[in-house]
């Protein structure tokens, strides 16, 4: 890797970004699903900065038990504080912790990168919420003046639900979807909100992210067996339903549903469809109908023809350069190479490298990459 590292340094030359580090990650037997996602998260600059900040201000708890958050923070700190600009790091502690924590990732079988990303973000949130609750309880027990003599510690005034904690993970990745259902008899609209860390989109051959997002928010009619119970009419009625983005996230993660269960085959099949993902994305299916601009900064790519085997690599944009991360190897690629990962226009193609998870950063708050 020394040679590959110096090759990358030579390729970037004077343009090597000040203070940036480009390190490959060692593979511990089919851990490419983990490595590819970790690289995408490392180059999600706001997330990285907040994780490093969290770690430096919480390091004093030396005897604190290892968890996925401390292992991830330790790995990112290790990378960012390397003296060399390029090289390879073994994310051993993180992978061991991951396997200890979740039996799903224990085997040497091919794992799903999207499942891993989902598990990791939810796990980080759980850890941060538990820490915040523990700190709150400590504060309450240490200040006797606040003790509630005649009631519970966390009174819920008039049954008002306490606001859920918003962590820095939420601030980066969480968006809100609203599910609107309109009764076709009385025209009453019922809206239900739900939060998301990523959007999973159905895909079609020769389509684009924009068309997949349109389909995601298209109006569906509920009739026959699928009628909707309207509270106002007090009966089952025909209705129209659609999903819209009520609060777009700062980091928009899009998962393309490339693995589809085929009833006749009794198994999953990989869809190699060509789905164009632009470098700049206008998000238009929002409640406000305002076009929001996003910029692509990472792509997790699935390499292989089937769902149960294959490999994962990632493409990352850092300081206006595109880089290709394949476990230990890191190389510079041209921006135009990104389009070779859209997918195949024909069903049987020799190209099996397809964009699977896309990471976009909102341009609203100024893009740092």
pLDDT in tens, 116-140: 999 999 999 999 999 988 888 877 7
Q: What is the pLDDT of residue 146?
A: 46
pLDDT at residue 2 greater than cutoff 50? yes
Q: Shortest CA distance to 316 belongs to which of 118, 72, 112, 36?
A: 36
Bridging pattern class, strands 207-208 and 275-276: parallel
Look up residue 124 and give its DSSP letter: H
> From CA 109, how far away is CA 309, in angstroms rounded?
8
Local confidence band at 23 (pLDDT 50, 70, 90 cut-offs):
very high
Between 232 and 158, where is the model more confident? 232
Q: What is the pLDDT of residue 291?
A: 78
Local confidence band at 157 (pLDDT 50, 70, 90 cut-offs):
very low
Q: How many CB atoms lie within 10 A of CB 268?
A: 14
Dihedrals φ, ψ of 71, to 5°?
-65, -40
**What percent of the chain lies above the pLDDT cut of 70?**
90
> From CA 77, how far away is CA 156, in angstroms rounded?
40
Helix (H, G, I), strand (E, B) or coil at 104: helix
Local confidence band at 191 (pLDDT 50, 70, 90 cut-offs):
very high
Catalytic residue (one of 255, 311, 321, 354): 311
Q: What is the pLDDT of residue 198?
A: 97
pLDDT at residue 365 greater than cutoff 60? no
Catalytic residue (one of 32, 71, 183, 212): 32
Mean pLDDT (the chain, rounded): 89
**Contact by Cβ (8 Å): 286, 362:** no
Helix (H, G, I), strand (E, B) or coil at 219: coil
Q: What is the pLDDT of residue 85?
A: 94
The architecture CATH gives domain 22-131+172-362: Alpha-Beta Complex (3.90)
Q: What is the pLDDT of residue 151?
A: 45
pLDDT tens track for 213-227: 999 999 999 999 999
Q: What is the pLDDT of residue 162?
A: 57
> From CA 363, how far away is CA 346, in angstroms rounded?
34
Q: What is the pLDDT of residue 155?
A: 45
pLDDT at residue 367 greater than cutoff 50? no
Contacts of 327 (CB under 8 A, 6+ apart): 24, 25, 26, 27, 32, 35, 313
pTM of the entire structure?
0.90
Local confidence band at 369 (pLDDT 50, 70, 90 cut-offs):
very low
How much is the average pLDDT of 100-109? 83
- 233 as an active site residue: the answer is no
What are the residue boundaries of the structural domains of the chain, listed by start? Answer: 22-131+172-362
Helix (H) or strand (E) holding 222: strand 220-222
For tokens 């409640």, what's the residue?
Answer: 287
pLDDT at residue 185 greater than cutoff 50? yes
**Contact by Cβ (8 Å): 293, 299:** no
Among 41-55, 87-101, 125-139, 172-186, where is mean pLDDT lowest?
125-139
Per-position DSSP letters for 272-320, written without gaps between them: -B-EE--SEEEE--BTT-PPEEEEEEEEEEEESSSSSS-EEEEEEEETT
> From CA 105, how far away is CA 96, in angstroms rounded?
10
Among 262-271, 297-306, 330-339, where is mean pLDDT lowest?
262-271
Dihedrals φ, ψ of 350, to 5°?
-75, -15
- 170 as an active site residue: the answer is no
Between 195 and 369, where is the model more confident? 195
pLDDT tens track for 230-281: 999 999 999 999 999 999 999 999 999 999 988 888 888 999 999 999 999 9
């Amino acid at each position: 890797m020394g040679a590959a590292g110096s090759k990358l340094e030579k390729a970037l030359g004077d343009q090597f970004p000040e203070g940036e580090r480009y390190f490959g990650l060692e593979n511990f037997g089919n851990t490419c699903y983990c490595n590819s996602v970790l690289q995408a998260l490392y180059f999600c600059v706001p997330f990285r900065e907040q994780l490093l900040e969290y770690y430096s201000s919480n390091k004093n708890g030396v005897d604190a038990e290892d968890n996925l958050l401390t292992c991830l923070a330790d790995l990112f700190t290790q990378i960012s504080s390397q003296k060399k600009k390029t090289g390879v790091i073994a994310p051993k502690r993180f992978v061991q912790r991951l396997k200890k924590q979740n039996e799903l990732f224990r085997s040497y079988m091919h794992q799903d990168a999207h499942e891993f990303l989902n598990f990791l973000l939810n796990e980080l949130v759980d850890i941060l919420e538990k820490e915040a609750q523990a700190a709150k309880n400590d504060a309450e027990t240490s200040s006797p003046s606040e003790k509630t003599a005649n009631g519970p510690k966390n009174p819920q005034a008039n049954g008002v639900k306490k606001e859920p904690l918003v962590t820095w993970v939420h601030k980066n990745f969480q968006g809100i979807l609203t599910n609107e259902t309109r009764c076709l008899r009385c025209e009453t609209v019922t809206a239900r909100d739900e939060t998301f860390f990523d959007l999973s989109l159905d895909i079609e051959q020769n389509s684009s992210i924009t068309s997949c997002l349109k389909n995601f928010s298209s109006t569906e009619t509920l009739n026959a067996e699928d009628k909707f119970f309207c509270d106002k009419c007090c009966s089952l009625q025909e209705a129209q339903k659609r999903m819209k983005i009520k609060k777009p996230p700062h980091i928009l993660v899009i998962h393309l549903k490339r693995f589809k269960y085929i009833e006749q085959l009794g198994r999953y099949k990989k869809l190699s469809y060509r789905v164009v993902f632009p470098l700049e994305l206008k998000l238009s299916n929002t409640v406000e109908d305002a076009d929001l601009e996003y910029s692509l900064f990472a792509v997790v790519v699935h390499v292989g023809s089937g769902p149960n085997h294959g490999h994962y690599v990632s493409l990352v944009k850092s300081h206006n350069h595109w880089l290709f991360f394949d476990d230990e190897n890191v190389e510079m690629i041209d921006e135009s190479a990104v389009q070779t990962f859209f997918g195949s226009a024909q069903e049987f193609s020799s190209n099996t490298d397809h964009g699977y998870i896309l990471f976009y950063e909102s341009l609203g708050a100024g893009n740092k990459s």
